[in-house]
Chains A and B, each alone.
Chain A
Amino acid sequence: MTDDLRLAMTRRHFFSRTAALGVGTAALASLLAEEGRAEGGLEGLPHFKPKAKRVIYLFQHGAPSQLDLFDYKPELAKRRGENLPDSVRRGQRLTGMTAYQASFPTAPSIFKFVQHGNSGMWMSELLPYTSKVADELCLIRSMHTEAINHDPAVTFFQTGFQLAGRPSIGAWISYGLGSENKDLPAFVVLVSQGVGGSQALADRCWGSGFLPTKHQGVKFRSGADPVLYLNDPPGYSSEARRRFLSDLAKLNEQRLEEVQDPEIATRIAQYEMAFRMQSSVPELTDLSTEPESTFELYGPDSRKPGTYAANCILARRLAERGVRFIQLFHRGWDQHGNLPKEIRGQCQQTDQATAALILDLKQRGLLEDTLVVWGGEFGRTVYSQGTLTETNYGRDHHPRCFCLWLAGGGVKGGLTYGATDDFSYNIVENPVDVHDLHATILHQLGIDHTKLTYKFQGRHFRLTDVGGKVIRPILA
């Protein structure tokens, strides 16, 4: 028996004979659905009144360059081409890609930076749209991580640990808080491709690790089958499926009466939820009902299914429907070479839709209880990987500092938090590590990150492992 059922039983005597058998299928189904909603999440959670009810995490996969987007370093222009001083590098380990490089020429960003909004937040010309919502953003310039390669770094951001095997943030939140919507999963994942070559993603980035697998993220795909196996087969109508499910429920109920295993009642309920998903998911992913103004707001890409912009619209629709954790991944930020050209392409794909999402949530009154997170898995080096020219350079992985922003969900807008040295190489003020970010996300959802635990292999595991502190100064 699954843990959930056992708990359901011990908690409410839910499956007494009368409850399970004295009612017809439809009533049973709705009873179970109600129960399913109430069932989600742990007792005692949230630990305190939450500021945010849900999270939209816009993961910029491959690691965007903080130097070319947010971390303005005017001093660098004078040092163009100079070797990065050892006093700055301080023996920092390098990836195998630049460890053999003979020199480390300083590469200032070729993009112009201007201050934006009432707060005067610095942003580069690559972000004409995001800069317009600067007053909504809480920009952290002092993120740092432990990993220097994509796979462990993304795994660290998504699960709090560099190696595979731990639950992802969304799975923890699903486990802790459950779903607000009985027709949709609590944790949904959307992936889009960037320009140029992309690094690989793995299922584990939204996996449930040692938590029950029902907490894993459900990846929505673009195209006809937005959730795997969602569509009925060709030649089989929704009415036929309804009939099929009624027959199935009748047979399963007979078996339930015979053997009394409450797991059967759960299965009946899960088939009903599957059926509801068959209509709720296509309804959700069908953007044709959106007014023209939506596409104008999110930009021309948003008409193409599967793009980052289209996924941003979906993220808002998921938020409207109460999905707890909405995880976007946009691939393609790994700019070891030809950075100026490629980052321009990435920004063209993402900037307008990102800003649109903030505006859209705001005008719908959703921003105040939706926490939006934007960021990658590490930063990029100030020195050029490969040859530095007037118009071209590349940047290697840099774990020691990078930028990430939050918006809505009870964080301060228009705040720039933390600072780095003149090379954007080391943090000089208010460092924030990955566990701190996780602790803060959970905190905004009303969860004490030290108390959301799961016992596995004898240990009380948490998303924040043994670290993490809430970044209080950024909270509204």
Chain B
Amino acid sequence: MYRRPALFLLTALLSPLAAAELQFNRDIRPILSDKCYHCHGTDAAAKKIPLRLDSEEAAKANLGGGRRALVPGDPEASELIRRITSTNKARKMPPAWSGLSLTEKEIAALRDWVAQGAKWQKHWAFLPPVRPDPPSVKSSNLVRNPIDNFVLARLEREGLSFSPEAPKETLLRRVTLDLTGLPPTLAELDAFLKDSSPDAYEKVVDRLLASPRYAERMAARWLDAARYADTNGYQFDGERQMWRWRDWVIESFHRNQPFNEFVIEQIAGDLLPNATLDQKIATGFNRNHRINTEDGIVPEEYAVEYVVDRVETMGSVFLGLTIGCARCHNHKYDPITQKEFYQLYAYFNNIPEFGRGMKYGNSPPVIPAPMREQQMEMVRIEAEMRKAEGFLKEREAAIARGQRKWERTLASADPRYWRPRDSFAWTAKAADGVVPDVAGRVGQAKEFDGKAYLDAGRDLSLDIDDRFTVSLWVKPRAGDGSLVSRMQDRDKGKGFGVHLRDSRVHVNLTSNWNDDAIRIETEQKLELDRWYHLTVTYDGSVAARGVQVYIDGKQAPVKVLLDSLYRPFRNAGRAFTEPLRIGAGWGPQLRFRGLIDDLRLWHRVLKADEIEAVALGVSINEIARKPLAARTAAESNAIRWHYLDTVSGPQLRGAWERILALADEKDQLERKFPTVMVMEENATPRRTFLLKRGVYDQPGEEVQRSVPAFLPPLPPGAENNRLGFAKWLVDPGNPLLARVTVNRFWQMYFGTGLVKTVEDFGLQGEWPSHPELLDWLATEFIRSGWNVKAMQKLIVTSATYRQSSKASQELLQRDPENRLLARGPRFRLPAEMVRDQALAVAGLLKHRFGGPSVKPYQPEGLWNELSMQDMEYVQSRGDDLYRRSLYTFWKRTIAPPLMVNFDAANRETCVVRESRTNTPLQALNLMNDVTFLEAGRMLGQRMMQEGGQTPESRLRHGFRLVTSRVPSSSELQVLRDSLNYHRDYFADEAKAAEYLSLGETKPDPALNKRELAAYAAVGSLLLNLDEAVTKE
């Protein structure tokens, strides 16, 4: 197989393999790990293999009969060398069945290393970084900061040096793309070209770092790592709402939150003392995993997958470890046992979640997450509420006087009752018989005979995301019956219902029998032939705890029978058409027998004191007759509210109306709050068991939370929970977090990390190209207080970064991947930048921070072809078509095609390694996607409007907008020829009109269509240039 581990290309490149001393970490362990540890590694004991090569002691131990795998200094006596060079098939290592083999070079390296004394080293990445002194270099004049010392020292050893600094245009475009994800504007370009001050570049960097665009750029990579998406994934792949978390990430980068805090809040923000809303939102990081909502799944199986996903993602992102490999057995390469995997798992296994998620929307635990402006609105409403309440309070004496006067008039009035306003006005017709009026508890009651019922129409929605309250007086004559429902009138039907079952009040929200439902019932049984007042409230939270029952105004203890509702009644895009039924629902066997009086429904959750007042069986008139001291609190409330509702003077009345209106406004506002899935802890910790072979229903021994033994213990004083774990991650003693993080930053700028395997710093990870530089950067990151912006600035202001990316043939041959960094980076832009840049140079890009994801152009029908019913791609309109790609709606199972074509991370699972391919589908995408055609047209329009009068100046303008540089005369000649060709081509006006018709923006009608079409075609040409989609 020619795709050898890149390490050997690298070591071959870096050390021309003279008889130089071999280093275990750099030269030997990678061979052992890749070719031997699969059997002779951490998992050897489990497989009953006596020889282990992952520890020095074991590798050099007597294997019996004086045989030793390694005899330092004596290759011929070393069993390992004998075996790898054996010609006997039965003895040869690695064995043929493994599919592995050693190259001659590898065998030679092992032999030489044994001959040199077989010196062992602990794996470098598991030792804390020690800050090295930047090495001295010969060409010290080329050094701008310590990064350059490390890079240049290596180059000088190789007989190389830096390339010259990139031209100013190239450099500005490079750094602007790198730090903001967008190209520089021409104004920015001109300002920079004009600025000859020595710190001109640094000023640019500071400007870019301060821009909100920087935060969006940084967030894009973090979303990949965090597998952020707008849908749940798996089969149904319904929409979820996690953009509040996404916006938190952007804000965090913008305010330059120290990276250690950034980590702590995402892992355990909810456990911080007095956690703020933002800190809770941050924990959405661990809820971005896919959630399965398929009908027939075994929830326990997926509950395990979610926790495993958290552990794996945490491992890749923060530790650079492939921890997931230890799920089913001990890690084959790294010193992580299976038990340790489940000990880590235990930190993330204690949240109140259910394996089957909500089909639509967020799955618990979920919190309302008002946006800033909504939070401010809430503050305003509450302040005004306090003001209005204060106004009434100041006038208490006057109110009380007025009320007493009014009360005296009630003696002769008809009996009346206080009720909260805005109850649903229902009218009903009887069905299956007659439902006569009879004297009721507080008015006219309806008498049900166990057969007839009332049909109150379909006007009132009582779906699972509605908030509502139902209240009524009931006098049952049988222990089973449906009081009120909006549900199919059949056994096991779908919908909402309040029933009596075995004389208990039973509330049922069933989307699909059996388990797609919430069912609760009261502990108390109702007696027959006696009046009760019942209230049921539901807060739209799709959870049993969101349902409350009140009997005679007091909250009734309930038993939760089922709590796994996940689909709304209006399913698959179809309306739910069952009427509101009184005395029925659930079929003929549950028709109600008895009396119902004063049935009311509200589209809000009444407060407990309101419910108590509603449940009063006494009229206002009766209360008025009681002396003040003899009235209950509910009675006092009811009569006071009734007084304020009906009769007070204009000022008082105004204040009271204001309070009611504000309460309503508050309720309306709360309903608009976006929500976000977060981490929460169960009050009683869930026990965690090792899962044999990683299978959910094969528990082994119980395990306790702990970090792996080969890494430092929890820092002193840290509790052994998620918060303690987060503190452990960011503890300076942790050898991995800082290294892994700066390495990922490095990858953003140079295309490849100093450790190429950015996701794997374990034994199978690649040896760093510049180990000292990596450690220096890691220690510098910690020393700076985990200052993210400072780290970016350090990298982009280095001479290493500022080099020209032009390469000589010799250098290309010698270092095709640019690992030595004798030139600047040159590689294709990430997917989101390809689109964002096109929008920017076309003048189409619309900047707006955050909010729900948007749906830009996408070929029609893509979702319909693959997904289930009920997921339509409704394309956005107006500005939302031109937002940055970071805000594009991401459906996991059918990702935005442009992003897929340009190698974006898949967002199904954590991806931290950047990948780049070069395919014909990319060419088709850039040539024919309306996104780029419209951008090309608008770019053509800009050339005509802003580029002066001559074709040359216009073409130069367009070229410069896209590449930041001035075209050469021969390039300009090609563009002129192309323009002329297209002018001729679009002489056919019909063609021009068609070509200009793409996209939602309209061409400037003042421009000649033929000219514009020709410039539009050239605009498209410019956007297709290799240079356009490449950072040079």
Q: Chain A: residues with CB nearer than 8 A to chain B? A: 1-7, 9-11, 13, 15-17, 42-44, 93, 95-98, 100, 148-151, 163-165, 191, 197-204, 207, 212-214, 216, 218, 221, 223, 225, 227-237, 240-241, 243-244, 247-248, 250-252, 254-256, 258-264, 266-268, 270-271, 273-274, 277-278, 396-397, 448, 450-451, 453-455, 457-460
CB of B480 within 8 A of chain A?
A: no
Q: A244 contacts which of B333, B993, B1017 (Cβ < 8 Å)?
A: B1017
Chain A residues within an 8 Å CB radius of B297: 95-96, 149
Chain B residues within an 8 Å CB radius of A202: 237, 866, 892-894
State whether A165 and B515 are in contact (beta carbons under 8 Å apart), knowing that A231-B928, A247-B977 are contacts in the complex. Answer: no
Beta-carbon contact of B991 and A250 below 8 Å: no
Instruction: Give CA–CA (A262, B1030) in the complex, Å.
Output: 13
Beta-carbon contact of A200 and B917 below 8 Å: no
Chain B residues within an 8 Å CB radius of A455: 3, 5, 34, 764
User: B604 to chain A: closest CB distance in Å?
Assistant: 34
Beta-carbon contact of A251 and B997 below 8 Å: no
Beta-carbon contact of B927 and A229 below 8 Å: yes
Tell me the residues in window 980-1009 of chain B with beta carbons closer than 8 Å to chain A beta carbons: 981-982, 985-986, 990-998
Instruction: Give CA–CA (A261, B1031) in the complex, Å.
Output: 12
Beta-carbon contact of A235 and B991 below 8 Å: yes
Beta-carbon contact of B237 and A451 below 8 Å: no
CB of B16 within 8 A of chain A?
A: no
Chain A residues within an 8 Å CB radius of B893: 200-204
Chain A residues within an 8 Å CB radius of B294: 149-151
Instruction: Give CA–CA (A1, B1020) in the complex, Å.
Output: 25
CB of B158 within 8 A of chain A?
A: no
Chain A residues within an 8 Å CB radius of B892: 202
Beta-carbon contact of A251 and B974 below 8 Å: yes
Instruction: Give CA–CA (A397, B295) in the complex, Å.
Output: 12
Beta-carbon contact of A270 and B1021 below 8 Å: no
Chain B residues within an 8 Å CB radius of A263: 826-828, 918, 1026, 1030
Q: A271 contacts which of B900, B903, B920 (Cβ < 8 Å)?
A: B920
Tell me the residues in window 808-844 of chain B with beta carbons closer than 8 Å to chain A beta carbons: 808-809, 812-813, 816-818, 826-828
Instruction: Give CA–CA (A261, B1021) in the complex, Å.
Output: 20
Instruction: Give CA–CA (A164, B305) in the complex, Å.
Output: 11
Chain A residues within an 8 Å CB radius of B919: 213-214, 270
State whether A459 and B817 are in contact (beta carbons under 8 Å apart), knowing that A200-B235, A204-B908, A453-B99 are contacts in the complex. Answer: no
Instruction: Give CA–CA (A241, B929) in the complex, Å.
Output: 14
Instruction: Give CA–CA (A254, B1026) in the complex, Å.
Output: 11
Known: A149-B296, A263-B827. 11 other contacts (CB 8 A): A204-B906, A214-B918, A232-B928, A236-B995, A243-B981, A252-B1025, A259-B807, A261-B1030, A273-B923, A277-B920, A455-B3
Beta-carbon contact of A212 and B298 below 8 Å: no
Pick 9 A–B contacts, CB within 8 A, sort by A. A2-B916, A96-B296, A165-B908, A199-B868, A233-B998, A235-B986, A236-B1017, A458-B333, A459-B332
Beta-carbon contact of B99 and A450 below 8 Å: yes
Instruction: Give CA–CA (A476, B751) in the complex, Å.
Output: 49
Chain A residues within an 8 Å CB radius of B9: 10
User: A187 to chain B: closest CB distance in Å?
Assistant: 12
Instruction: Give CA–CA (A204, B233) in the complex, Å.
Output: 11
Tell me the residues in window 773-828 of chain B with beta carbons closer than 8 Å to chain A beta carbons: 805-809, 812-813, 816-818, 826-828
Q: B322 contacts which of A230, A248, A264, A457 (Cβ < 8 Å)?
A: A457
State whether A97 and B865 are in contact (beta carbons under 8 Å apart), knowing that A204-B906, A451-B1 are contacts in the complex. Answer: no
CB of B762 within 8 A of chain A?
A: yes
User: A72 to chain B: closest CB distance in Å?
Assistant: 27
Beta-carbon contact of B894 and A260 below 8 Å: no
Instruction: Give CA–CA (A6, B752) in the complex, Å.
Output: 14
Instruction: Give CA–CA (A148, B235) in the complex, Å.
Output: 13
Chain B residues within an 8 Å CB radius of A261: 805, 807, 826, 1030
CB of B867 within 8 A of chain A?
A: yes
0/1 interface trace, chain B 1004-1032, chain A, CB 8 Å (1 if under): 00000000010001001100111100101
Instruction: Give CA–CA (A204, B971) in the complex, Å.
Output: 42
Tell me the residues in window 874-903 of chain B with beta carbons closer than 8 Å to chain A beta carbons: 892-895, 897, 900-901, 903
CB of B760 within 8 A of chain A?
A: yes
Beta-carbon contact of A225 and B826 below 8 Å: no
User: B922 to chain A: closest CB distance in Å?
Assistant: 7
CB of B292 within 8 A of chain A?
A: yes
Chain A residues within an 8 Å CB radius of B978: 243-244, 247
Beta-carbon contact of A458 and B760 below 8 Å: yes
Instruction: Give CA–CA (A44, B333) in the complex, Å.
Output: 27
Chain A residues within an 8 Å CB radius of B993: 235
Chain B residues within an 8 Å CB radius of A251: 971, 974-975, 1021, 1025
